[in-house]
Structure 1
């Protein structure tokens, strides 16, 4: 299966990230609603699905020169860990354990109401799949190239649009997430979202709703929930929590 949960997105100075595997890799972090000119943004995410997958991820994005609210070079490091129900011929139950790390560099183009960011770098992933009652496990480890593209915009003063995607040559892992929102409470947005993710061994898509970008002190909070379908466990429900802060 490919990276999960979730997984980050970026600010109106670095659209979305990470984080993205089986549950919700590269979980999109929400852009700041205020004028915070962060140099470093930290995004964390946790996601769980009724099919038996649970993942946690973290992403650190920095602007070596300037800040995240101005165009310029970006560097990003992200990591993910979790477990999922895997497909294994002849086994009633198989559980996969996954870890994933990536280091990338890129550039952000920041406009008055939008930001487009691209990244390229290296990715490493390790998977272990154990069959119920079996003493042996299937192990897969790979290193490859990873690219990511994030876009965030505010078409009007009361709406937002976000699209984030990534692809890694390691097991052909991919992740894509699209969101639209209308201004809601605490500076956040509410609206629909769609996510697709997978790799050589796993595929999943999600459709649901999100309440994202709520400002609570120095932290931005996002919540998502909805319907999930994967090719192993079929239909079910998912929920995820995103947190973002910076300095």
Structure 2
């Protein structure tokens, strides 16, 4: 997220079985094993133990931009159950535009308050949210602020996380705003590696008042250390100004640990 958070199941749904190796097919067969319809209770790659509140943040950079984001999500019934959710999101971005001998900078501040609903069915999770969107753009020329542009609008977001087999996941996110009809969408696939994290390809497309970007790269998601869950991504980015280069993204999610045999 921060797109498509995933959470663990109740202890009653735990599956501790270990299948024996069976010749040359033992490595590949788990990738396509669809018999597991529920997530494992102690599956750290799916978010660890259930909780009501999680915090998230990260940094995103390319050759001509630098951004940071953060926020929190609250689920009164618990992040492992269907029900109401509330997400609060903040971001700050700095974009550089160079034409000949002139360099312009734009500082873009965004905030959103998004109530919504979380739906889970087996190994599929969908989050639907919609609410208030706010944006302030500061334009700089020769290191001096030339003008301010502030707007209010509405934003809608959908996050999907699906584990079609024991070892594979698919993640999709789309978010759109009425401010300048901006949108961003991302799709990623992942392979569970060493039972420690997901790794795989990703692709993203975004459009706003300033530019349209296309990204193709790879990601590592769900590397967990205590209550922290880390993600990394890098790849190639191109925009409608014919600029292209490398992008990198780092993200962190914090879910406070909970005792496994007690409800929230």
Contact 2:4-2:173 at 8 Å conserved across structures = no
Q: In structure 2, what is the Cα distance between the partners aligned to 1:110 and 1:11? A: 12
Q: Match of 1:79?
A: 90
* Unpaired stretches in structure 1, ≥5 consecutive residues: 1-6, 15-30
Contact 2:6-2:47 at 8 Å conserved across structures = no
Q: Match of 2:190?
A: 181
Q: Match of 2:230?
A: 221
- Is it true that 1:42 corresponds to 2:55 in the alignment? yes
- After TM superposition, the runs of 4+ consecutive aligned structure 1 residues lying more than 4 A away are none
Instruction: Give 3-state SS (helix, strand or coil) of 2:46's partner.
Output: coil
> C-alpha displacement at 1:138, in angstroms?
3.3
Aligned length: 221
Contact 2:45-2:196 at 8 Å conserved across structures = no
Structure 1 residues 212 and 240, CA gap change in structure 2 (3 angstroms) = same
* Larger-gyration structure (1/2): 2
- Is it true that 1:160 corresponds to 2:169 in the alignment? yes
Please point out which of 211, 235, 254 is paired with 1:245. 254
Contact 2:7-2:49 at 8 Å conserved across structures = no
Contact 2:67-2:93 at 8 Å conserved across structures = yes
- The C-alpha deviation readout for 1:41-78, integer Å capped at 9, x for no partner, is 1111101101x2010001211112x1011110111100
- Is it true that 1:110 corresponds to 2:110 in the alignment? no
Instruction: Give 3-state SS (helix, strand or coil) of 2:180's partner.
Output: helix
Structure 1 residues 167 and 34, CA gap change in structure 2 (3 angstroms) = closer
Q: In structure 1, what is the Cα distance between the partners aligned to 2:56 and 2:207? A: 22
Q: Match of 1:63?
A: 75
Q: Match of 2:2?
A: 8
**Higher share in helix:** 2
TM-score (norm 2): 0.78
Q: In structure 1, what is the Cα distance between the partners aligned to 2:145 and 2:138? A: 10
Instruction: Give 3-state SS (helix, strand or coil) of 2:81's partner.
Output: coil
* Worse overlay, 225-234 or 207-216: 225-234
Q: In structure 2, what is the Cα distance between the partners aligned to 1:94 and 1:161? A: 39
- The C-alpha deviation readout for 1:77-122, integer Å capped at 9, x for no partner, is 000012012478x872111111100001010111210101100100
Q: Match of 2:132?
A: 122
Greater RCO, 1 or 2 (C-alpha within 8 Å, sep 6+): 1
